[in-house]
Amino acid sequence: MSDKERDHHEHKPHRHHGHSSRSFLDASAILEGFGLGPDETILDLGCGDGHFAIEAAGRVDFDTAVYALDLWPESIQELKEELDELGLRKVKPILADATEEIPLPAETVRVCLMVNVLHGFVHNGEFEDLMQQLVPVLHTRCRILIVDYRKVEDEHGPPLEVRVDPDEAIELFRPQGFRKGKELEVEENRYAMELVR
């Protein structure tokens, strides 16, 4: 039995699908705070309905791609419909399981957004699988922008034992050469943090 399979037997898997964060996270303020460069190719990993990807698209050059990847067909379909309504071609939806494949060329991504998804990968024992797929597509000089739940009791979001606090997140990415950059105030029970390499 693999480590991943063992973890699924020992812990109830956390579903990588939930309510949209559009109503409680200000994507515009968060991306403004981290200052996206106009030529930084972006991957919104676990994009959900894609509202961060759509916001990011307005902050990069016309010919700079924003990739929006999610495991769930309904999320990608919803995003495609919104992109059609907006006439927005810069956002490229990708239906894929990031722990198995991230179908992008090597060293493409300058900024990887992980909004409310890190805790799920960690809890499900999928973080190493994710990194095997993610690291090759990251540029040598890149940033990972994490927005997630603080490890505090809260009636909203995942259970306390599933959450990953900022210090834990830093340690998870340290072996790949990342260090903590800027941290933003978002709301009481969430954090927004930049990891840079």
Q: What is the pLDDT of residues 96-133, one digit of tens each?
A: 999 999 999 999 999 999 999 999 999 999 999 999 99
Report which of 61, 57, 62 is spatially closest to residue 31, judged by C-alpha positions: 57
pLDDT (mean) for 158-182: 95
pLDDT (mean) for 138-146: 97
**Rounded distance between C-alpha atoms, residue 42 and residue 108, angstroms:** 9
Inter-residue contact 123 to 160 (CB < 8 Å): no
| Domain ranges, residue 84 | 27-196
- Say if residue 17's pLDDT is above 70: no
pLDDT band at 8 (very low <50, low <70, confident <90, very high): very low
Query: What is the number of domains present in the chain?
Result: 1
Please indicate, yes or no, if residue 17 is contained in any of the structural domains: no
Please name every residue paired with 31 in a beta bridge, in sequence order, or none if there are none.
none
Burial of 92 (0-12, 13-18, 19+ CB in 10 A): middle
**SS3 label, residue 9:** helix
**Rounded distance between C-alpha atoms, residue 166 and residue 149, angstroms:** 9
CA distances, 99 to each of 26, 103, 112, 124 (Å): 27, 11, 15, 11
pLDDT band at 20 (very low <50, low <70, confident <90, very high): low
Burial of 5 (0-12, 13-18, 19+ CB in 10 A): exposed
**Rounded distance between C-alpha atoms, residue 119 and residue 141, angstroms:** 24
Q: What pLDDT does 156 receive?
A: 82
Q: Specify the CATH number for the domain of residue 55.
A: 3.40.50.150
Please indicate, yes or no, if residue 153 is contained in any of the structural domains: yes
Inter-residue contact 149 to 119 (CB < 8 Å): yes
pLDDT band at 21 (very low <50, low <70, confident <90, very high): low
pLDDT band at 14 (very low <50, low <70, confident <90, very high): very low
- Say if residue 137's pLDDT is above 60: yes
Q: What pLDDT does 64 receive?
A: 93
pLDDT (mean) for 17-29: 68
pLDDT (mean) for 138-150: 96
**Rounded distance between C-alpha atoms, residue 21 and residue 148, angstroms:** 11
Residues in the chain: 197
Please indicate, yes or no, if residue 75 is contained in any of the structural domains: yes
- Say if residue 19's pLDDT is above 80: no
Please indicate, yes or no, if residue 95 is contained in any of the structural domains: yes
Outline where the chain has alpha helix (H).
3-10, 27-34, 51-57, 73-86, 118-123, 127-137, 166-173
Please indicate, yes or no, if residue 2 is contained in any of the structural domains: no
pLDDT digits (tens, 9 = 90+) for 54-95: 999 999 998 899 999 999 999 999 999 999 999 999 999 999
**More reliable by pLDDT, 186 or 42:** 42
Please indicate, yes or no, if residue 18 is contained in any of the structural domains: no
